[in-house]
Structure 1
């Protein structure tokens, strides 16, 4: 769905407190989360503004976002 929010707080609302605590206390987690959310913003902007981008390139951006989300989820599971 175009323009849908995929930032980490929207993806894992039940883990909001853990996410906020880790973002404040763990620079590695904060960096990964910030990179993910910046990529999500880039993807949404490309979709909403109908910017010229190759379908394959968009697919690669979305795959990278999904991989980062998986890494973040594993990090959250390990630090609950």
Structure 2
């Protein structure tokens, strides 16, 4: 079995509506972290440090926002 992370679930950025698009943006950001650090034990160990860091949380929000902008464009802004 392959340990490869599927980076784009369903191989599409198309969603039914903005709410689904936002959820996909969050999922893509999380998958990027998983691909960058595939060891779950290490991710769990690091989580408390960034969970209490305003700078780290703002960086995560920025990443999700960038993913969402890409998804919105791919969906013609749900027009």
Specify the TM-score bucket, using the shorter chain as the normaliser.
Answer: 0.3 to 0.5
TM-score normalised to structure 1 length: 0.45
TM-score normalised to structure 2 length: 0.45
Q: Which has the higher contact order (CA 8 A, sep 6+)?
A: 2
